Structure 1
Amino acid sequence: MQSDRINKVIELLKPYWLKNKELSLIETLVRLTQESGFDKPLEKLNDEVIIYHLKMDQIEANEMLPGIAKDCKDDFKTALLQARGLI
Structure 2
Amino acid sequence: MKCHRINELIELLHPEWQKEPELNLLQMIVKLAEEAGYEGKLKDLTDDVLIYHLKMRNSQKDDMIPGLAKDCEDDFKTAILRARGIIN
TM-score, normalisation: structure 2: 0.79
Counterpart-to-counterpart distance in 2, 1:55 and 1:10: 12
Q: What residue ranges of structure 1 are gaps of 5+ in the alignment?
A: none
Counterpart-to-counterpart distance in 1, 2:83 and 2:76: 10
Structure 1 letter corresponding to 2:68? I
Deviates more, 1:51-60 or 1:6-15: 51-60
Q: Which residue is 1:65 aligned to?
A: 65
Q: CA deviation at 1:28?
A: 0.3
Q: Which residue is 1:4 aligned to?
A: 4
Aligned ranges for residues 20-59 of structure 1 at < 5 Å?
Answer: 20-59=20-59
Q: CA deviation at 1:48?
A: 1.8
The one-character-per-residue Cα deviations of 1:18-55 (angstroms, maximum 9, x if unpaired) are 22222211110110111112222222222222112112
Q: CA deviation at 1:75?
A: 2.7
Counterpart-to-counterpart distance in 2, 1:8 and 1:66: 14
Structure 2 letter corresponding to 1:20? E
Q: Provide the aligned C-alpha RMSD in A.
A: 1.8
Identity rate, percent: 53
Counterpart-to-counterpart distance in 2, 1:46 and 1:68: 19
Corresponding residue SS for 1:86 = coil
Corresponding residue SS for 1:64 = coil
Structure 1 runs, 4 residues or longer, greater than 4 Å off? none
Q: What residue ranges of structure 2 are gaps of 5+ in the alignment?
A: none
Q: CA deviation at 1:12?
A: 0.8
